[in-house]
């Protein structure tokens, strides 16, 4: 079988959507090696994270086959891919980030689309009006056009049904896995080396994710000043203007010596950064899933999550969950972990056990099952 994918994020993006795209295709290429996997991307860029995927002989990048496609990348992605799918005799096409070509009905084959979240509907204030309209149009059209839809969590499935009126039976929940480097705890030497590299010589709480308003790093920052002075906060992630808001607060509260920002950490350093932390804090106001949660739990570091979206689904029933606006609740949760080391150790063990369900093998098998359903449904039309 020849399976085509929207490969833009796999080639160009090094955060959530890119990681998902590369991981999914890689595990499918490993587990179902008889298939060929074509990633359709507007351009081929040098990306170290793409190299392991391209080492598979059954995985190839396909770029625009015409001068028009190379000159008008966005238009090619919206309309030009379809003709190349037919030329390449693709059996099934999978949109990995909530969209399909607008003329996908000209493709003679089943289609699948993965929807990660519809945060632009839940939190419209953090998107520009034009971006909201574009996302809403693309997502709405894709979930209606697709033969089947993959949602990465039960929360996302409920949102798709609520906002787009899609039949529940058309949507399969396929949980994400995470990179294999998060499947085991790094050695003490590896942790010590990474901590030394970043100057982390005191106990710390870690929060990983783009530094933006929705991620709500402010909750941990506001709680920090009431925690013991020897405990620091490490904020890992790409900066947006929200970082300035956090830094202004740090200046006002004289917390400069207790907060460290790390913006460009290599992906390979993340397991040790998580594992070296006292605990993780991931109190985003809304997520489709929350990969940092399972990354942290996977290396044995307990996580405090926020209520209100899918984070409790990702972290499991034993993980502490707090209101994203309740500083006191967050603070008391951290204090309990400090005062009761046995509780912290138990949460770490339970977390490592719980996240085994988010395995790469399970993601591959469930995705392939969706493909089989899509093929069967398409041919029964």
| pLDDT tens digits for range 90-101 | 999 999 999 999
d(CA 107, CA 195): 51
Token couple for 329: 């609740």
Q: What is the reported pLDDT for 169? A: 97
Average pLDDT over residues 11-15: 84
* Torsional class of 332: left (φ above 0), alpha (ψ -120 to 50), beta (otherwise): alpha
Whether residue 292 contacts residue 209, with contact meaning beta carbons closer than 8 Å, is answered with yes
Q: What is the reported pLDDT for 87? A: 94
Q: Which residues pair with 199 in a beta bridge?
A: none
Q: How confident is the model at residue 15 (pLDDT cuts 50, 70, 90)?
A: confident
Q: What is the reported pLDDT for 283? A: 97
Q: What residue segments make up the domains of the chain, in order of their start?
A: 2-177+359-379, 180-357
Q: How confident is the model at residue 71 (pLDDT cuts 50, 70, 90)?
A: confident
% of the chain with per-residue pLDDT over 90: 85
CATH class of residue range 180-357: alpha beta
Q: What is the mean pLDDT of the chain?
A: 94
pLDDT tens digits, 147-192: 999 999 999 999 999 999 999 999 999 999 888 899 999 999 999 9
Within 10 angstroms of residue 116's Cβ, the number of other Cβ atoms is: 20
Q: What is the reported pLDDT for 320? A: 97
Q: How confident is the model at residue 57 (pLDDT cuts 50, 70, 90)?
A: very high
State yes or no: pLDDT of 24 exceeds 80: yes
Nearest to 268 by CA among 97, 55, 52, 43: 52
Within 10 angstroms of residue 267's Cβ, the number of other Cβ atoms is: 12
Give yes or no on whether 2-177+359-379 and 180-357 have one common fold.
yes
Helix (H, G, I), strand (E, B) or coil at 132: helix
Question: What is the separation, in whole angstroms, between the first and last Cα of the chain?
Answer: 20
d(CA 186, CA 16): 22
Helix (H, G, I), strand (E, B) or coil at 282: strand
Nearest to 267 by CA among 374, 171, 194: 194
The radius of gyration of the chain from alpha carbons, rounded to an integer in Å, stands at: 21
d(CA 137, CA 23): 27
Q: What is the reported pLDDT for 179? A: 84
State yes or no: pLDDT of 381 exceeds 80: no
Q: What is the reported pLDDT for 264? A: 87
Q: What is the reported pLDDT for 126? A: 81
Average pLDDT over residues 46-56: 88
Average pLDDT over residues 244-264: 97
Average pLDDT over residues 308-316: 92
Average pLDDT over residues 46-60: 90
State yes or no: pLDDT of 324 exceeds 80: yes
Name the CATH code of domain 2-177+359-379 (choices 2.60.40.650, 3.30.70.580, 3.40.50.2000, 3.40.50.720). Answer: 3.40.50.2000
Whether residue 135 contacts residue 172, with contact meaning beta carbons closer than 8 Å, is answered with no
CB neighbour burial string for 24-56, b if at least 16 within 10 angstroms, e if fewer: bbbbbbeebeebbbbbbbbeeeebebbeebeee
Q: What is the pTM of this model?
A: 0.89
Q: What is the reported pLDDT for 93? A: 98
Average pLDDT over residues 97-108: 95
Q: What is the reported pLDDT for 28? A: 97
Q: How confident is the model at residue 137 (pLDDT cuts 50, 70, 90)?
A: very high
Q: How confident is the model at residue 70 (pLDDT cuts 50, 70, 90)?
A: confident
Q: What is the reported pLDDT for 117? A: 94
Q: What is the reported pLDDT for 72? A: 85
% of the chain with per-residue pLDDT over 70: 100
Q: How confident is the model at residue 223 (pLDDT cuts 50, 70, 90)?
A: very high
By CB atoms closer than 10 A (0-12, 13-18, 19+), residue 91 is middle
Q: Are strands 2-6 and 92-95 parallel, antiparallel or unpaired?
A: parallel
Whether residue 159 contacts residue 121, with contact meaning beta carbons closer than 8 Å, is answered with yes
Q: How confident is the model at residue 69 (pLDDT cuts 50, 70, 90)?
A: confident
Q: What is the reported pLDDT for 41? A: 94
pLDDT tens digits, 328-380: 999 999 999 999 999 999 999 999 999 998 999 999 999 999 999 999 999 98
The helix (run of H) or strand (run of E) holding residue 68 is helix 67-71
Q: How confident is the model at residue 142 (pLDDT cuts 50, 70, 90)?
A: very high
d(CA 28, CA 92): 14
Residue 240 CB partners (closer than 8 Å, separation 6+) = 210, 211, 212, 213
Nearest to 334 by CA among 295, 280, 256: 280
């Amino acid at each position: 079988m020849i399976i085509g994918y929207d490969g833009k994020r796999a080639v160009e993006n090094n955060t959530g959507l890119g990681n998902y795209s590369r991981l999914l295709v890689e595990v499918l290429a490993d587990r179902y090696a008889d298939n060929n996997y074509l990633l359709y991307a507007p351009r081929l860029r040098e990306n170290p994270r793409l190299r392991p995927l391209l080492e598979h002989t059954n995985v190839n990048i396909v770029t625009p086959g015409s001068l028009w496609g190379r000159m008008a990348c966005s238009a090619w992605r919206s309309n030009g891919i379809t003709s190349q799918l037919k030329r390449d005799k693709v059996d099934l096409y999978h949109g990995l980030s909530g969209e399909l070509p607008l003329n996908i009905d000209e493709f003679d084959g089943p289609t699948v689309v993965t929807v990660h979240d519809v945060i632009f509907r839940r939190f419209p204030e953090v998107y520009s009006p034009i971006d909201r309209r574009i996302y809403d149009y693309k997502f709405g059209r894709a979930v209606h056009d697709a033969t089947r839809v993959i949602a990465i969590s039960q929360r996302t499935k409920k949102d798709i049904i609520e906002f787009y009126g899609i039949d529940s039976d058309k949507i399969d929940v396929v949980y994400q896995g995470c990179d294999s480097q998060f499947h085991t705890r790094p050695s003490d030497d590896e942790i010590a080396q990474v901590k030394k590299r970043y100057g982390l010589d005191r106990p710390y709480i870690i929060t990983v994710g783009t530094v933006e308003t929705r991620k709500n790093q402010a909750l941990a920052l506001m709680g920090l000043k009431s925690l013991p002075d020897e405990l620091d906060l490490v904020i890992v992630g790409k900066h947006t203007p929200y970082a300035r808001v956090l830094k202004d607060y740090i200046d006002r509260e004289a917390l400069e010596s207790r907060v460290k920002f790390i913006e460009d950490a290599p992906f390979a350093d993340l397991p040790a950064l998580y594992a070296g932390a006292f605990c993780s804090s991931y109190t985003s106001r809304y997520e489709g899933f929350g990969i940092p949660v399972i990354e942290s739990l996977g290396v044995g570091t307990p996580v405090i999550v926020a209520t209100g979206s899918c984070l409790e689904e990702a972290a499991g029933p034993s993980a502490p969950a707090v209101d994203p606006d309740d500083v006191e609740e967050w603070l008391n949760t951290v204090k309990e972990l400090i005062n009761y080391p046995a509780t912290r150790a138990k949460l770490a063990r339970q977390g490592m056990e719980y996240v085994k369900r988010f395995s790469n093998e399970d993601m591959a098998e469930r995705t392939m099952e969706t493909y089989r359903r899509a093929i069967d449904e398409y041919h029964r039309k």
